[in-house]
Amino acid sequence: MARAGLLSWVVSLGATVASMYALDAFAAVVGAAAVASDLLTPVGTPGLVALLLLSYAAWGGGLHANVRANWALLTTTGTSTNILSKAAYELARRRRAGVRAHRVAAATGYVGTELAKEVPYYLGAFGAAVLTDSITSHEALVFLTGANLGAALYEYLLARATGAFVRRRRPGQLTVAAVHAGRGRDG
């Protein structure tokens, strides 16, 4: 593996670890703050479930923005903020699939990672509600709603930061997209 190729994997792994920890910590803090604020205490279970669904829609919007930004990062630098997205992208490239397949592979790796990370939130929130009397199912729903809103905000902000990074790349720099197109340099 060429040095640049190895470096793109190392950078992607570091970005993945940093992003995962930052996202999970931020989402957990926002979820805990939502519970501590008592703002949703008067809302009944049906209303909370509706808010939870809306929070998932917001998270999906943030995730969509970040998947698009990640695609731009992959095609511009060969790096990613999600190592599974990069792996899926590289696998599709090696199989000489078309650009659409590259994009679907990268998005699937990214979204799949994020969906898998939802499991601990549900196990933690509802497991705590079942195992202790100090946490109610109402508080678990509030926590999940807040955590989703925190994740949505984080994903959106990461997308903005990634987009800004990609836009600051100087014209004429070697990019993965240019190499794939046979141009060798952007232009």
Is 132 a domain residue?
Answer: yes
Instruction: Show pLDDT as tens, one digit a residue, over the chain (187 residues).
Output: 567 688 989 999 999 999 999 999 999 999 999 999 999 999 999 999 999 999 999 999 999 999 999 999 999 999 999 999 999 999 998 888 788 999 999 999 999 998 898 888 778 777 777 777 788 889 989 999 999 999 999 999 999 999 999 988 855 554 544 444 444 333 3
Per DSSP, the residues of 89-149 read: HHHHHHTT--HHHHHHHHHHHHHHHHHHTHHHHHHHHHHHHHH-SSS-HHHHHHHHHHHHH
Is 187 a domain residue?
Answer: no
Q: How far apart, in whole angstroms, are the C-alpha atoms of residue 12 and residue 84? A: 9
Q: How far apart, in whole angstroms, are the C-alpha atoms of residue 28 and residue 154? A: 12
Predicted TM-score (pTM) of this structure: 0.82
Residue-range definition of the domain harbouring residue 54: 3-180
Is 186 a domain residue?
Answer: no
Question: How do residues 12-41 score in pLDDT, each as one tens digit?
Answer: 999 999 999 999 999 999 999 999 999 999
Is 144 a domain residue?
Answer: yes
